[in-house]
Amino acid sequence: MAPNFRRRRTLALGLPLCLGLAISACSPSPGTAAPTERAVAQSFVERLVLPNYTQLVAQTAALQEAIQRLSENPSDAQLAATRQAWLTARRTWETSESWAFVPAETDGFDGAMDDWPVNRKDLATALGNEHFGPDTFAALSDTAKGFHGIEWVLFGGRTGTPPTAAQLTASERTYLRLAADDLHRQATGLLASWSGPQGFGARFSRPAEAGTAVQEMVQGVIGLLQEGGDEKLGQPLNTRDPRTLESADSGNTQADLVANVEGARRVLMATGLVDLIGSRDPDLARQIDRQSAAAVAMAKGLPDPLNGALSDPAARRAMEALISQLHSTAKLVERSVPLLS
């Protein structure tokens, strides 16, 4: 099995897109009370997590439908539409990476949907079976399923060249249908795990758990920023091998990074978290605001795609600068941990 670079960042909680939000804050206005920890946790669930996962369920269903149409009537136009459906769902998922903690982690949704790097060897071997079917699919590891398995087939991971619709084999079309069904099932389960009066979202924002919930949010942001610098950018810079980029086959790594950092900033700014920090250290809150905004801007300024830029001196400098920015922003957010304890 290929090595697994997924992060692991969970706190013990004491319990077994609409995302285009206006983002502006650094500390409460004079005379305005800071939000409570419970209000921050509730806002996180209601304004970020549930809308994002609801959108993901709809978009993975759209990907299912696109793949079904591609399978039934292969055409290059439908293949292009299917690739776009993958990219659309991918952005929504990547925006959620900073809250891929319980239950995304403990219930296995994160790994089932987004384990990487893709297990090219096992996937190629399985797809070489002319009788590929549900049993063959079920025997594959998470690293040969999910977003990256689908990407590998749709965007030509085997050959390095995107296939035409006519070049997709019967086994590949069957795999795509089964993988899309599984991805949608995982997204649906993830949304359900956070929803309703007995769901994790309700427990997350209970008064008795609100302090730990806020710490979970903070650790999610820190972990995402560190992963972006150390793994998603750091490793490809060290190896100069495009295959070590997370979404190498689709050339979507830069968009992944933008979505990651924007999602982390939304946790900070759209939930009242930075206002809460600002009530205890206004200068720290202002620094977090400025530095997280700078990280988003720097991610947007990276070459797109990154695949051919790993040996380009100017591109490498831009990537190194973003790594430094992600690390420095993570350290600022870490300074809030004792303030919120």
| Domain edges within the chain | 35-205, 207-341
For residue 31, the model assigns a pLDDT of: 52
Nearest to 246 by CA among 301, 307, 303, 299: 307
Q: Reply yes or no on whether the pLDDT at 144 is more than 80.
A: yes
CATH of domain 207-341: 1.20.1420
- Reading phi first (left if > 0) and then psi (alpha if -120 to 50, else beta), residue 212 is in alpha
Class of residue 196 by CB neighbours under 10 A (exposed 0-12, middle 13-18, buried 19+): exposed
pLDDT of 180 above 60:
yes
pLDDT at 9 over 60: no
Residue 200 has pLDDT above 90, yes or no: yes
Rounded Cα–Cα distance for residues 201 and 217 (Å): 13
Distances (CA, A) of 284 to 37, 324, 329: 18, 18, 11
What's the CA gap between 34 and 106, in Å, rounded?
Answer: 32
- Please give the pLDDT value at position 29: 52
User: What is the rounded average pLDDT for all residues in the chain?
Assistant: 91
Answer whether 35-205 and 207-341 agree in fold. yes
Residues 6 or more apart in contact with residue 290 via CB below 8 angstroms:
none
Is it true that domain 35-205 has CATH number 1.10.3720.10? no
Is the per-residue pLDDT at 5 higher than 90?
A: no
Higher pLDDT, 118 or 21: 118
Highest mean pLDDT among 2-16, 17-31, 321-335: 321-335
pLDDT, tens digit (0-9, with 9 covering 90-100), for 10-53: 444 443 333 333 344 444 455 568 899 999 999 999 999 999 99
pLDDT attached to residue 234: 96
**Which one-letter DSSP state was computed for residue 142?**
G
Judge if the upstream peptide bond of residue 305 is cis by omega within 30 degrees of 0. Answer: yes
* pLDDT higher than threshold 70 for residue 146: yes
